């Protein structure tokens, strides 16, 4: 059961197309996993459509029209239900990932994990934008991630396993938004690894005594 959802303002930003692409990918993946948010998203689109119908038509140039059609194509993605189709990925943890994640996997070469800390591996994904670093974070059983400080927004969706922090427990489909200034220390459950899909707006800073060194070892690469 999914217990943590994006709030209404974030869903509205997503539905109106004003959320940056990197962040949209994570919200879109959550909507594909969550019937409740999918219903809210459809209602927002229906309301938006009714408002548009009541407006007088305006002429647009060709460039703006094509840009708009591209956004409509992107916005249509969350309407897809999560298909039971098995992943072509070699990572069993990604087998039940939503379609938007599978699309990204097709555009990226085979997954390569980079060890960031003893309990944390990371795989960056190319998404064709430059505001957010989009990646998978893989945390080992019982692993604790060093306490860290968020310098920008971080959107996280749990795809496999679960972790907890001072605010609660997060399981597959759960969505988490961290804001600039938030500090937390996630801990993974003992019985299985945890895989998260994340979009990070700015470098995350490790706090504590070893932070000054680790912060230099983890490059921030939006893309």
Number of residues that bind Zn ion (CB under 5 A): 4
- The nearest distance, CB 73 to Zn ion, in angstroms, is 23
Q: For residue 130, how many other CB atoms are within 10 A of its CB? A: 12
Minimum CB distance to Zn ion smaller for 40 or for 108? 40
In the complex with Zn ion, the residue whose CB is nearer, 27 or 94, is 27
Using CB under 5 A as the binding rule, whether residue 4 contacts Zn ion is answered as: no
The pairing of strands 183-184 and 163-165 is unpaired
Q: Given the complex with Zn ion, which of 37 and 100 has the nearer CB atom?
A: 37
90 and 110 Cβ atoms separated by less than 8 Å: yes
- Shortest Cβ distance from residue 36 to Zn ion (Å)? 5
For residues 32 and 121, which CB has a smaller minimum distance to Zn ion in the complex? 32
Told to check if 5 binds Zn ion by CB under 5 A, we report yes
* DSSP string over 200-218: ESS-EEE-STTHHHHHHHS
Using CB atoms within 10 Å of the CB of residue 2, give its burial: 0 to 12 exposed, 13 to 18 middle, 19+ buried: middle
Question: How far, in Å, are 30, 47, 53 from residue 57 at the CA level?
Answer: 34, 17, 9
Asked if 150 touches Zn ion (CB under 5 A), the answer is no
Build a one-symbol-per-residue string for 15-54: x at contacts with Zn ion by CB under 5 A, - elsewhere. Answer: -------------------x-xx-----------------
Tokens matching residue 186:
């996630």
End-to-end CA distance of the chain: 32
C-beta closer to Zn ion: residue 6 or 22: 6
Collapsed DSSP state (helix, strand, coil) of residue 181: coil
> Under the rule (CB under 5 A), what is the footprint of Zn ion?
5, 34, 36-37
């Amino acid at each position: 059961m999914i217990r943590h959802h994006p709030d209404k303002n974030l869903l509205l930003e997503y539905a109106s197309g004003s959320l940056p692409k990197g962040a949209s990918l994570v919200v879109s993946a959550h909507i594909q996993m969550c019937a409740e948010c999918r219903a809210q998203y459809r209602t927002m689109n229906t309301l938006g459509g009714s408002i548009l119908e009541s407006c007088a038509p305006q002429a647009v140039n060709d460039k703006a029209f094509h840009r708009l059609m591209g956004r409509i194509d992107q916005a249509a993605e969350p309407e897809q239900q999560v298909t039971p189709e098995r992943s072509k990925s070699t990572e069993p943890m990604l087998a039940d990932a939503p379609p938007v994640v599978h699309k990204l996997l097709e555009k990226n070469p085979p997954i390569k994990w980079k060890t960031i800390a003893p309990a944390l591996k990371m795989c960056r994904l190319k998404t064709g934008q430059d505001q957010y670093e989009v990646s998978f974070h893989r945390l080992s059983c019982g692993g604790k991630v060093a306490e860290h400080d968020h310098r920008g927004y971080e959107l996280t969706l749990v795809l496999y396993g679960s972790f907890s922090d001072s605010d609660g427990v997060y399981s597959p489909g759960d969505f988490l938004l961290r804001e600039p200034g938030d500090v937390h220390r996630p801990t993974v459950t003992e019985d299985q690894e945890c895989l998260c899909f994340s979009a990070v707006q700015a470098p995350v800073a490790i706090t504590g005594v070893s932070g000054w060194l680790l912060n230099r070892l983890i490059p921030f690469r939006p893309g």
